[in-house]
Structure 1
């Protein structure tokens, strides 16, 4: 019996684990990334997702849209995530997409400082599918905290977050064990392969899930852009510098995807590391406007065809909230909303018809 309905059994198990861990049932497309995890020893001990689609495209540029919304750093706060989405007018009280053709861009740093990171990732992934079915979209970007966690730097992970990953690991392994009982599915990959047993459970689970090629990194983070251009608006977590332009924005997105999927070793590419990294740069986000490098920003925007503004996160703007600098050439949207940061009231940035910009709160 199991041999005849193995795919149905696998899908049911994945949906069950998704609901227990993330509180959501995701689409079959989203589930397929989890099913393709096949770890193997690699340089630096990363897992390699050989079953994934190496050609999975990362969109770098999309045309202007009627309504565009930017949301800043979330840092594991599910309640503030929901509040932000409701301020944006794209979800109802039951977390269903009502934004129509609105395109939402969350600028990265979903991970760290909060205790509900997985639930946030699952919610955003669920809403992305709903948005696309209604002609809209939801793009979640990679920030410096995603990069840190993929590299195994958990210094900002909370106890609650480690507990959440421990629970994920328990249910994930139970799901794998159920699949192994079906003759048509065969032996399932060991999520903890090459992960030392001496590591505390929460840290061990987090490392296994988020390392390059890990089930959570491959399933969620690998298809998130690091750079995104929507019409005339350029998005990056930290900021784009001339060196990033010279290297190639599409190339950066493609290489980051490959690294997260376990195809490029354990360590992040150079443009993701250090103070001038695309996810670490603060040249445009220092709250004191006089300290922003407007000349550098203008040079970068001039070098991107059709670009007129940049939207960045990364640097908390409290107590100012979302604000602009350099004659509205940059908007800074990290308001420190997470209870693990400044615990401020959420705000979102709205851009209509690629020209009219306002803050919603």
Structure 2
């Protein structure tokens, strides 16, 4: 991400710089975050490619579902050593981190989290690291206009975003030489039968922001992978079946991106819908009776991959693994809108050393592990369990 300099300013591109200034003003008003000055976006630029495979880093971290809870998400990020809890800046250095989706719904800080993750991506890249964010079923639902898990606080946040965005539109209309921006609210109903009147404005703003080619969906979600391979680990929100791998991981990512950008109609791709879809599947994340042979067959189809890391299904006992650590489930129900679970993150060092970093080693499921031998701060665990280390939240 290159910073703009005075030499970049010309009569020809000055309007776009003014537009970028207005965008920065709206961003700060909405999120309280400052984004460094950058060269203005070129609307005619081609859609950037989306990467599916990344080389193994020395340190890899995975974070589960966040569901609109800003404060608990900050705890998880700090627990992983990725951010400073006061400045909220990236401190993870060359760490590669994967957040497995479901930033939206169940809480009132959805937009704040989208902005925060967006800025951390830039900062991580500058530090030699990477922050990868995956699409969850709740992102897909919201893009399709399914708001059944939205909270009143979430609707109010979108209402406030909509008002600030309209202020930005008005500012741009005052600047001669600027191409008049289209109104993203155009064509959206102003009333919604069956919805309380007090929520209509929030519903309308949410549609404008998150529908295919929406203001926030294009900016914050279209670059998200649906499935991503980092070293010998594959990350997906729900899970993968043989037919998904045969369809093509790169193809899934590219088609999902194009759909979010408004190039594929209103309905999500078929592999995003239904109980056996990549974002809804629970076959490898419920209980400990996992079909390990089936899982191993799927992993064998993906060169170099030895484990699948999933979110989506809350693990009341905390992050855990089955099938000799081939299936790792990391959704701890972190958000207060879910089960208000204790923050935990998965850490993989050098591709082999797997451990859970937890805010509290006295969490109930730790009790069954006390008979194992300790290794420093880590707790060595037997088959189907991971090393654990205690850290301050």
TM-score (norm 2): 0.84
- Which position in structure 2 is the counterpart of 1:74? 66
- Which position in structure 1 is the counterpart of 2:223? 223
Q: Distance in 2 between matches of 1:17 and 1:2?
A: 24
> 1:30 offset after TM fit, Å?
10
Instruction: Give 1:164-179 correspondences, 5 Å limit.
Output: 164-179=157-172
- Which position in structure 1 is the counterpart of 2:55? 63
Cα contact 1:68–1:352 (8 A) shared by 2: yes
The structure that has the greater radius of gyration is 2
Q: Distance in 1 between matches of 2:54 and 2:13?
A: 42
> 1:58 offset after TM fit, Å?
1.1
- Which position in structure 2 is the counterpart of 1:245? 245
- Which position in structure 2 is the counterpart of 1:148? 141
- Which position in structure 2 is the counterpart of 1:5? 14
CA RMSD of aligned residues (A): 1.7
- Which position in structure 2 is the counterpart of 1:338? 335
Q: Distance in 1 between matches of 2:231 and 2:59?
A: 11
> 1:3 offset after TM fit, Å?
8.6
Q: Distance in 1 between matches of 2:35 and 2:261?
A: 20
Q: Distance in 1 between matches of 2:152 and 2:180?
A: 32
* Secondary structure of the structure 2 residue equivalent to 1:331: strand
Flag structure 2 segments of 5+ consecutive residues without an equivalent. 1-9, 193-199, 359-393
- Which position in structure 2 is the counterpart of 1:321? 318
- Which position in structure 2 is the counterpart of 1:39? none
- Which position in structure 2 is the counterpart of 1:301? 299
Instruction: Give 1:104-119 correspondences, 5 Å limit.
Output: 104-119=97-112
> 1:211 offset after TM fit, Å?
0.3
- Which position in structure 1 is the counterpart of 2:84? 92
Equivalent pairs counted in the alignment come to 341
* Secondary structure of the structure 2 residue equivalent to 1:121: helix
CA deviations on 1:247-273 (whole Å, 9 max, x unpaired) are 000000000000000000000000000
Q: Which of 157, 163, 178 is the matching residue for 2:150?
A: 157
Distance 1:2 1:170, change over 3 A: farther
> 1:78 offset after TM fit, Å?
0.4
Q: Distance in 1 between matches of 2:49 and 2:72?
A: 30
* Secondary structure of the structure 2 residue equivalent to 1:14: helix
Q: Distance in 2 between matches of 1:113 and 1:69?
A: 24
Distance 1:31 1:271, change over 3 A: farther
Flag structure 1 segments of 5+ consecutive residues without an equivalent. 37-50
Q: Distance in 1 between matches of 2:238 and 2:22?
A: 38
Q: Distance in 1 between matches of 2:211 and 2:324?
A: 40
- Which position in structure 1 is the counterpart of 2:173? 180
